[in-house]
């Protein structure tokens, strides 16, 4: 057998390589074994997440709406559990955590047993003091200070945060969420989660039981967290509070106040409301029952409810007639005798006494149904639908809140699908012309539509976010450009409609006389929409205020309250009066608070505050006896 050269090379290589391995292993396990045993016993080398501070939410004058407050949380390190039954009993007695749930938690975390699990948050300080002695028996438990959210007032737009659930964790785990993470569940907290959240940092824990550094890793290898961006809203806290307070108690409904030119929402109220702070603690069954009572306080009626608009829809019907030249502002249509006979059906006007023959402005003023019945006979359903779509009353407005409900307007196809091939369209069309029947809109859509009418036909997307603050300052336009689109309505038509809306409030016999404000000019339209939810009508009022220029648009919606002119219009007036009375206060530009100032602001802002007082060096006087 020839000993080849190659075999020798292989043997030498094998011996060299494996001697290296054996030598290293000997050094690691035999010589340094004791040291590593000590490190292993302390179980202290690990990476810990440093949670980024969530961005806060402010109103347009930098007053807080949602802020962070410290909270005490209880954590469990499952790898350190020694006596499971005792632990389970302790937690059940003091924190109401059932043994089964605990078992599930531990099981879920079994591949990261060194990572802490958040067991309970927002624990009262008294409770911590009470338990501190017993805690010594459970080294696997630890209290730690974290942050929780505080919501300044009950509302529907901020939403709330909550612990990430299993479904969300699966969905977002790639985006660096842990099982302990909080995530925005609804409202702005959810919509702007990406901005508010920031980026968690990492800390390398490498100390032994005595607190000495193990020097396994370089110092300063931590990754600092990037705090979330704070968010400034278009909401005005004072106005919001006024609107919320002026809302008649015991009624359900919504009020939206927005700036006509910017489209920014100044007040956003849905009643009854709920306190988002409730969700920051474990919700008791009683509270849960209260939140789910028949009045549905959790429902955001501004965007999550779509309702028949009733007469506030009439300007749209009128504009189709005017635009297409079927009627002129002076054309009088069929005489109202308390209703109108179409085919062999009699369609009633709301006023049994009748309005006689009217033109478009008078029809709007007295809200005569017959004028629009007659007009609808000359319009095609498809044209009406097209107008509803182009005026953003169909579909969504794209407001910066999650789960916006769509508005709806039927077309022939829809009727055929729903009622069969031989459906008579005319009867439905007559109903649709006055905003009854199958048409549904959300209060926010009506608000945006009237804002567009006030703004000479330029529709602006309603929105809540004004700008971000903190690490990056971005306006809403830089973040997500707003949709601004002219309505399809002709300028001359808009002028006519505006005259009609003026007459509603200001002309004698107008249905919206209750909305007339102390100064400034109010335009608007009342609505009392019949609906399937109850016998009484929904009360609507959409109106806008013009002083020297268009100011604000207000939409009031009261669920099953009664007539719009009697109930909704006075609320609108109070809001207009408040707005005019506090015009200077509301319009005042607030200087940027100091904590948001960055280097680039310093030269332009008042420099006095930045200058440190000169240091006074105290002469050291030696006291000699």
Partner 1 sequence: MINRKKFDFTLLGLLVCLIIMGCVAIFSASTTVIGQHVSIQNHWWKQVIFAFISLGAIALLLKLPMPIFDIIVLPMFILNILALIVVLFTPAVNGSHRWFSFGGINYQPSETAKLFTILMVARIISREHLNEYRQIFYGFLIVLLPVAIIIIEPDFGTTLVFWTSLMAMLIAADVPVFYVLLFISPVVSIISSLWWYAIPIWIIIFVLLLLRARLSWVAVTVAGIANVFIALITPVLWMGLKDYQQNRILTFLDPTRDPLGAGYQIIQAKIAIGSGSVYGKGWLMGTQKNMNFLPEHHTDFIFSVIGEEFGFIGSLLLLGMFIAFFSRIIKNTGELKIKERKVATAGILAYLMFQSFINIGMNIGLVPATGIPLPFISYGGSNLLINTISVGVILKYLNERGFIK
Contacting positions for partner 1 (CB under 8 A): 1-7, 9-11, 13-14, 17-18, 20-22, 24-26, 28-30, 32-37, 39-41, 43, 45-47, 78-79, 81-84, 106-107, 110-114, 202, 204, 216-218, 221, 223
- Smallest gap from Cβ 136 to partner 1, in A, equals 18
Query: What is the CB neighbour count within 10 angstroms for residue 487?
Result: 21
Torsional class of 71: left (φ above 0), alpha (ψ -120 to 50), beta (otherwise): beta
- The smaller minimum CB distance to partner 1, of residues 21 and 617, is found at 21
3-state SS class at 609: helix
Kindly state the DSSP code that residue 91 receives in the 8-state scheme: H
**Token output for 461:** 């997307």
Nearest to 402 by CA among 237, 207, 583, 186: 186
Query: Which residue matches tokens 């109850």?
Result: 534
- Smallest gap from Cβ 7 to partner 1, in A, equals 5
- Smallest gap from Cβ 142 to partner 1, in A, equals 16
- Smallest gap from Cβ 17 to partner 1, in A, equals 5
- Smallest gap from Cβ 101 to partner 1, in A, equals 15
- The smaller minimum CB distance to partner 1, of residues 221 and 492, is found at 221
- The smaller minimum CB distance to partner 1, of residues 172 and 596, is found at 172
Give whole-number Cα distances, 71 to 49, 147, 375, in Å: 17, 5, 63
3-state SS class at 304: coil
Q: What is the rounded distance in angstroms from the CA atom of residue 555 to the CA atom of residue 525?
A: 10
**Token output for 294:** 């028949």
3-state SS class at 402: coil
- The smaller minimum CB distance to partner 1, of residues 1 and 611, is found at 1
- The smaller minimum CB distance to partner 1, of residues 112 and 485, is found at 112
- Smallest gap from Cβ 27 to partner 1, in A, equals 9
**Token output for 47:** 């990476």
Residue 272 preceded by cis peptide, ω within 30: yes
H-type helices in 422-536, by residue range?
Answer: 425-433, 443-454, 476-479, 491-506
Cβ(332)–Cβ(356) below 8 Å? no
- Smallest gap from Cβ 176 to partner 1, in A, equals 12
- The smaller minimum CB distance to partner 1, of residues 19 and 478, is found at 19
- Smallest gap from Cβ 158 to partner 1, in A, equals 34
Q: What is the rounded distance in angstroms from the CA atom of residue 489 to the CA atom of residue 1?
A: 102
- Smallest gap from Cβ 50 to partner 1, in A, equals 12
- The smaller minimum CB distance to partner 1, of residues 62 and 114, is found at 114
Instruction: Decide: residue 288, CB within 10 A, 0-12 exposed, 13-18 middle, 19+ buried.
Output: exposed
Q: Parallel, antiparallel, or unpaired for β 345-348 and 458-460?
A: unpaired
- Smallest gap from Cβ 173 to partner 1, in A, equals 14
Q: What is the rounded distance in angstroms from the CA atom of residue 364 to the CA atom of residue 372?
A: 9
Give whole-number Cα distances, 507 to 294, 342, 362, 569, 573, in Å: 40, 30, 9, 15, 16
Quote the Cα angle for 96-97-101, to 5°: 150
- Within 98-239, strands assigned E span 116-120, 141-151, 161-163, 182-184, 201-205, 230-233
- Smallest gap from Cβ 51 to partner 1, in A, equals 16
- The smaller minimum CB distance to partner 1, of residues 204 and 546, is found at 204
- The smaller minimum CB distance to partner 1, of residues 6 and 616, is found at 6
- The smaller minimum CB distance to partner 1, of residues 39 and 425, is found at 39
DSSP β-bridge partners for residue 341:
346
- Smallest gap from Cβ 210 to partner 1, in A, equals 17
Query: Which residue matches tokens 């990476």?
Result: 47
């Amino acid at each position: 057998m020839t000993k080849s050269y190659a075999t020798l090379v292989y043997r030498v290589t094998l011996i060299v390589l494996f001697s290296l391995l054996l030598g290293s292993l000997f050094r690691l396990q035999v010589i340094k074994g004791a040291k590593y045993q000590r490190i292993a016993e302390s179980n202290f080398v690990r990476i810990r997440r440093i949670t980024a501070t969530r961005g806060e939410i402010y109103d347009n004058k930098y007053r807080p709406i949602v802020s962070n407050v410290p909270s005490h949380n209880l954590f469990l390190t499952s790898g350190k559990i020694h006596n499971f039954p005792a632990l389970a009993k302790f937690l059940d007695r003091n924190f109401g955590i059932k043994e089964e749930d605990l078992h599930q938690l531990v099981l879920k975390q079994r591949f990261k047993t060194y990572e802490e699990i958040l067991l309970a948050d927002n624990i009262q300080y008294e409770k911590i003091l009470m338990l501190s002695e017993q805690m010594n028996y459970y080294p696997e438990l630890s209290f730690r200070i974290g942050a929780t959210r505080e919501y300044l007032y009950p509302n529907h737009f901020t939403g709330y945060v909550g612990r990430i659930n299993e479904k969300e964790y699966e969905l977002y785990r790639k985006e660096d969420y842990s099982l302990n993470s909080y995530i925005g569940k609804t409202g702005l907290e959810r919509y702007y989660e990406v901005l508010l959240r920031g980026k968690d940092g990492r800390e390398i824990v490498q100390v032994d039981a005595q607190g000495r550094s193990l020097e396994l890793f370089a110092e300063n290898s931590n990754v600092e967290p990037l705090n979330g961006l704070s968010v400034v809203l278009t909401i005005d806290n004072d106005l919001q509070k006024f609107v919320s307070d002026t809302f008649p108690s015991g009624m359900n409904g919504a009020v939206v106040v927005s700036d006509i030119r910017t489209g920014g929402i100044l007040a956003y109220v849905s009643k009854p409301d709920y306190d988002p702070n409730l969700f920051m603690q474990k919700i008791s069954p009683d509270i849960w029952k209260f939140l789910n009572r028949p009045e549905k306080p959790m429902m955001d009626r501004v965007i999550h409810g779509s309702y028949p608009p009733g007469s506030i829809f009439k300007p749209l019907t009128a504009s189709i007639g005017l635009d297409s030249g079927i009627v002129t502002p002076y054309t009088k249509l069929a005489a109202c005798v308390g209703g109108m006979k179409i085919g062999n059906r009699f369609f009633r006007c709301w006023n049994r006494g009748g309005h006689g023959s009217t033109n478009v402005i008078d029809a709007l003023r007295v809200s005569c149904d017959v004028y629009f019945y007659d007009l609808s006979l000359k319009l095609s359903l498809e044209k009406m639908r097209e107008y509803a779509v182009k005026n953003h009353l169909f579909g969504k407005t794209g407001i910066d809140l999650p789960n916006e409900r769509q508005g709806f307007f039927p077309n022939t196809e829809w009727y055929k699908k729903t009622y069969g091939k031989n459906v008579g369209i005319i009867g439905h069309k007559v109903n649709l012309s006055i905003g009854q029947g199958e048409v549904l809109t959300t209060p926010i859509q009506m608000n945006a539509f009237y804002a567009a009418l006030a703004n000479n036909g330029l529709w602006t997307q309603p929105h809540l976010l004004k700008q971000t603050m903190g690490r990056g300052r971005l306006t809403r336009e830089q973040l997500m450009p707003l949709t601004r689109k002219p309505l399809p309505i002709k300028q001359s038509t808009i002028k006519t409609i505006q005259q009609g809306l003026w007459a509603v409030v200001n002309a004698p016999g107008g249905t919206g006389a209750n909305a007339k404000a102390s100064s400034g000019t109010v335009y608007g339209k009342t609505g009392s929409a019949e609906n399937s939810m109850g016998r009484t009508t929904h009360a609507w009022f959409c109106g806008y205020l013009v002083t020297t220029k268009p100011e604000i648009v207000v939409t009031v919606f009261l669920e099953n309250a009664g007539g719009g002119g009697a109930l909704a219009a006075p609320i609108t007036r109070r809001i207009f009066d408040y707005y005019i009375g506090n015009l200077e206060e509301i319009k005042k530009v607030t200087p940027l608070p100091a904590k948001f100032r960055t280097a680039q602001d310093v030269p332009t802002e008042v420099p006095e505050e930045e200058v440190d007082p000169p240091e006074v060096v105290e002469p050291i006087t030696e006291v000699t006896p």
